[in-house]
Structure 1
Amino acid sequence: MSKIFNVAIIGVGIGRSHIVEGYLPNGDKFKVVALCDLNQERMGTVADEFGIERRVTDFDDVLAMDDIDIIDVCTPPMLHHPMVMAALKAGKHVICEKPLVGSLAQVDEVMAQEKISKGKLMPVFQYRFGDGIEQAKAIIDAGLAGKAYTGTVETFWRRDADYYAVPWRGKWATELGGVLMGHAIHPHDLFTYLMGDISQVFGRVATRVNPIEVEDTISASLVMKSGALASLTATLGAADDTTRIRLAFENVTFESDHAAYNPGEKLWKIQPRNDETKAKIDALLANWKHVPSRFQTQMERFHAALIGAAPLPVTSTDSRRSLELVTAFYHSSATGEDVVLPLGPGHSLYESWVPAQFRTA
């Protein structure tokens, strides 16, 4: 029998989805034994639903629980950095929702702590998992796609006033950014997961849809390290929620299923450019084994990493790449300049991209 890891969930909003999609389907691997949330009524409802007895409002109480193996951070973004650091220092394994932290300086601090900590850290990028995305990844990794030519990512979602009625949303100090941080961050991660690292970013951000502090509309032109060209566009002012990823390679073109919140689940459109490539792809996928989407597979693979049977399915390096793109977007939009990656401590937004007037002491 494999080891069962005890989990404490901090924040029961998206945390409930972690239970339903991630931990319950992997009941032989994880047991949620504690919840922590400032909203006791909401926490009580979730705890009653799943029979979780321990319910606390103080994060320090969770850190002091000796039988907790994993702390799953599902709080608003501004709390991620201090909670992740405290959990790593306490020797716990850590799962953290996106965005992992709020600056390149913070992610570098987390990565340094990770190297000396007992526990492993897994950021959440649940959209990576499912048959569609994994078949595309398998074809690329097998070398069948050939040279990358170009790609587009469209994140056209709808967010109205009721969405921003939640107090921490739409504010720099608490959400740490807008559509780049809370919405397009997932499709952009899928893009780099398949297309590799970015070399240059020319980006624009704007607030056009809702009366909020942060951006809700963005567009960028990219140069990839491979030499491929790409464009990213996102808005929260669309009529519905649609995510579209289209990638053109030398031998094949991919197009994602257009589902906004689970683009990896259904099979993608795969268009080989010639019969030879089609035959090789058909052979590669002939005995395909179904990959459950989202949290179910991410948590399953995290368990495999914890017992030493596989690498981490998502790493802090992945989160750093994601936040580097965010940093480049804000800098390019403010200066009108191309931003060359990677970005380090010498960059003007390394410590924070949040405008000075919105930063907390």
Structure 2
Amino acid sequence: MATETVPSPPGRVRVGLVGAGGIATVAHLPTLRSLESRVEVVGITDLDADRVTQVADEWGIAGRYDSVDDLLSSEEPDLLIVCTPPSAHRDAVIKGLRSGAWVWCEKPPVLSLAEYDEIQAEESNGGPYASFVVQHRFGSGAAALKQQVQDGDLGRPLVALCNTLWFRPHSYYEVPWRGRWDTEGGGPAMGHGIHQMDLLFEILGDWSEVTARAEALDRDVETEDVSFAIVRFENGALASVVNSVLSPRETSYLRFDFQDATVELEHLYGYDNSSWTWTPAPHLAQDDGERERVTESWRPKEDVPSSHKQQLSELLDAMAARVRPRASGHDGRRTLEFISALYQSAETDRTIRRDELVSEGVYYTGMHDSNFIYGSARLAEASPSSTKTTR
């Protein structure tokens, strides 16, 4: 399937795409086209050759390949975007870095902390670096709130809620790699709530301990389909985190209670400024007029929606400056550490401190102890008289 390499126009970043599935065509290729003054898609690869041809024809991509190796050797892209199922992330990212390409990989980053550390070992000072898709921190609302927290404008952070209440029908898990530890790495904590949790940590910083419960209540999966967690942050704040794929009225909701204000974000898969509200504490505003003046002073002055486009724009800036992009390194690992600790807490029935995490064992090389069983078998063992609801 290899084709002759064609030089890109000067100044444009050469992009290779790994994976031709839905996330590539719905999110990444439209994003790349919107930034065509800065990038050029020079090649695409997927295990399904017919799919490669279909997508390449639709999007005008000249380079068509049946392996990551062929794409990298033939096109020598500056940036490799990985849109495969999670179990294929590690190998594609490492191959990209070893070729000299920067990498932008879909969530979840990889299936374990061990794999994440393997990737970091391939990075070099000044690049190439690997970054991961968590576009919800890349919007004007998140940027404004983060700055306000850093400046102390809202007082000390005290309480937070982080809810990913989504709905995935039984048919969603008919895709062979979904709902399995070896191919998806986890359930909604790993594959759905990771966006909201990443934004929670972007605003409140490092976490220090987590106490969690997780269960498979209704979907026919190896992993959980719902989890609850109580989180303590290094700054003393407490948060609750809920991740669910069982919730018919879907919402993504974050709430931050500071000494002087409550800040809320509610949306589903992406937000703009209208999704955010700032509410001053009573001691700052005694009437509607005063409340509106205070609130207006906190609202972002520009409206930049959360999006793949905004994150990719910042990544291209980082490439040009040869500096580590956001959503990589420490703050990419932080969210993966939290998910690992969440599963460890749920499966061992104890609080997990971040300083207890080690570079060995089942929760380092994976997210799950195979001796722990989720779903109806464990529920029946815990409550023999209970019955499973039929579909």
Is 1:3 the counterpart of 2:3? The answer is no
Check conservation: 1:144, 1:277, Cα contact below 8 A: no
Letter in 1 for 2:269: Y
Unaligned residue ranges in structure 1 (runs of 5+): none
Is 1:23 the counterpart of 2:10? The answer is no
In structure 2, relative to structure 1, the CA distance for the partners of 1:354 and 1:347 (3 Å cut) is: closer
Cα distance, 1:2 vs structure 2: 8.1
Tell me the TM-score normalized by structure 2. Answer: 0.85
Q: Which protein, 1 or 2, shows the higher relative CO under an 8 Å CA cutoff with sep ≥ 6?
A: 1
Letter in 2 for 1:95: W
In structure 2, relative to structure 1, the CA distance for the partners of 1:167 and 1:265 (3 Å cut) is: farther
Between the aligned partners of 1:23 and 1:294, the Cα distance in structure 2 is: 12
Between the aligned partners of 2:147 and 2:127, the Cα distance in structure 1 is: 32
SS at match of 1:133: helix
Residues 3-152 of structure 1: pairs in structure 2 closer than 5 A: 3-13=11-21, 14-115=23-124, 118-152=127-161
Between the aligned partners of 1:118 and 1:107, the Cα distance in structure 2 is: 16
Check conservation: 2:63, 2:75, Cα contact below 8 A: no
Cα distance, 1:290 vs structure 2: 3.0
Is 1:354 the counterpart of 2:363? The answer is no
Check conservation: 1:272, 1:278, Cα contact below 8 A: no
Letter in 1 for 2:317: A
Aligned residues: 356
Letter in 2 for 1:202: T
Unaligned residue ranges in structure 2 (runs of 5+): 1-8, 373-391
Residue equivalent to 1:194: 203
SS at match of 2:164: strand
Between the aligned partners of 2:298 and 2:268, the Cα distance in structure 1 is: 27
Letter in 2 for 1:55: R
Is 1:293 the counterpart of 2:306? The answer is yes
Cα distance, 1:117 vs structure 2: 8.2
Letter in 1 for 2:13: F
Residue equivalent to 1:328: 341
Cα distance, 1:351 vs structure 2: 1.9
In structure 2, relative to structure 1, the CA distance for the partners of 1:253 and 1:285 (3 Å cut) is: closer
Residue equivalent to 1:171: 180
Cα distance, 1:83 vs structure 2: 1.4
Between the aligned partners of 1:174 and 1:37, the Cα distance in structure 2 is: 17
Deviations 1:206-247 (A, max 9, x none): 011211111110001111111111111121111132111111
Check conservation: 1:8, 1:34, Cα contact below 8 A: yes
Letter in 2 for 1:149: L
Check conservation: 2:81, 2:105, Cα contact below 8 A: yes
Cα distance, 1:308 vs structure 2: 0.6
In structure 2, relative to structure 1, the CA distance for the partners of 1:58 and 1:265 (3 Å cut) is: farther
**Alignment match of 2:319 (pick from 306, 313, 317):** 306
Check conservation: 2:229, 2:242, Cα contact below 8 A: yes
Between the aligned partners of 1:152 and 1:177, the Cα distance in structure 2 is: 22
SS at match of 2:256: strand
Letter in 2 for 1:166: V
Check conservation: 2:119, 2:130, Cα contact below 8 A: no
- My pick for the range that moved more, 171-180 or 276-285, is 276-285
Tell me the TM-score normalized by structure 1. Answer: 0.91
Cα distance, 1:81 vs structure 2: 1.0
SS at match of 1:174: coil
In structure 2, relative to structure 1, the CA distance for the partners of 1:10 and 1:296 (3 Å cut) is: same
Q: Identity of aligned pairs, percent?
A: 32
Between the aligned partners of 1:255 and 1:90, the Cα distance in structure 2 is: 43
Residue equivalent to 1:268: 276
Question: What RMSD in Å do the two structures reach over aligned CA positions?
Answer: 2.4
Deviations 1:195-214 (A, max 9, x none): 11111100111011211111
Between the aligned partners of 2:133 and 2:28, the Cα distance in structure 1 is: 14
Structure 1 segments (4+ residues) deviating >3 Å: 17-21, 115-118, 263-267, 275-286, 354-358
